[in-house]
Amino acid sequence: MQDERKVKLPALYDILKHVLPMDHSRQSTARDEVQARVAGGFAPTELLDLGCGNGNSIDFFKTVVPKTRWIGVDIDSSPEVLARTRSDGTFVTFDGVTLPFASDRFDLVYTFQVFEHVRRPEPLLAEVRRVLKPGGLFIGQTSQMEPYHSYSIFNYSVYGFKCLLETAGLCLISYRPGIDSFTLIERAALGRPKDWSKWFVTESPYNMKIEEECEKAGKPVRVRNFRKLIFCGQFIFVAEKIP
């Protein structure tokens, strides 16, 4: 395998190098990241699902961290909120900016494909920092190159989202690639066929192509993650509170 010091890479690589994982280069989801952190000893006692929508993450967290108290927060009206039927969790409504919780409360703030819908991301990220306990984690995923969906407002570059996190007082720990943008765009163009949903949870076609090419060239894992990340439609992030 090539030494990454001998691989010619763009300047963005140097900016992101310290947050590119070296353990594997598989396509991931925010749920994968939570499971990995829990397997590594992370044991939150109370978590906040930011932008909880219909509340379906309750089932996931009951399985992964059954003793953790789940609280969901969302705006009062969205397609996902209006579709909510369950009542087995604590659901809180907020104004989209100010989180109605005490500072330093949560071990984990989790958010799944929410920030592309947020009108004022900077103050909301500052609120995430405020409600996180010291040592707590902010784990989630959002869109980089994804077609419009469900009143989405923004797509973020991986560099831009890193800047937003830092401005809010959050330190980015890691980035992982989600589904590739080419597959995501083609799926939308075809009318979002149900059988294409598999690419959200298994290696998508262009990610497979990148992996194959990197394997042939002997590229390091961190470089493989970078190559997938700059072409991904969605990316996964882990951040922590800057003291």
Model pTM? 0.93
Task: Tokens for 35, please give them.
Answer: 């499971």
Please give the single-letter amino acid code of residue 124. Answer: L
Helix (H) or strand (E) holding 137: strand 132-143
* Structural domain boundaries in the chain: 4-241
Contacts of the segment 195-201: beta carbons below 8 A, 24+ positions apart: 200/29, 201/29
Crossing angle of the two packed helices 181-189 and 205-217, in degrees rounded to 10? 150
- Nearest Cα residue to 239 out of 57, 68, 48, 108: 108
Tokens 């509170």, residue located: 241
Going by CATH, does the domain composed of 4-241 fall within 3.40.50.150?
yes
Question: Which pLDDT tens digits describe the chain residue by residue (243 residues)?
Answer: 555 555 555 689 999 999 999 999 999 999 999 999 999 999 999 999 999 999 999 999 999 999 999 999 999 988 888 888 888 989 999 999 999 999 999 999 999 999 999 999 999 999 999 999 999 999 999 999 999 999 999 999 999 999 999 999 999 999 999 999 999 999 999 999 999 999 999 999 999 999 999 999 999 999 999 999 999 999 999 999 988
CB atoms < 10 A from the CB of 235, how many? 25
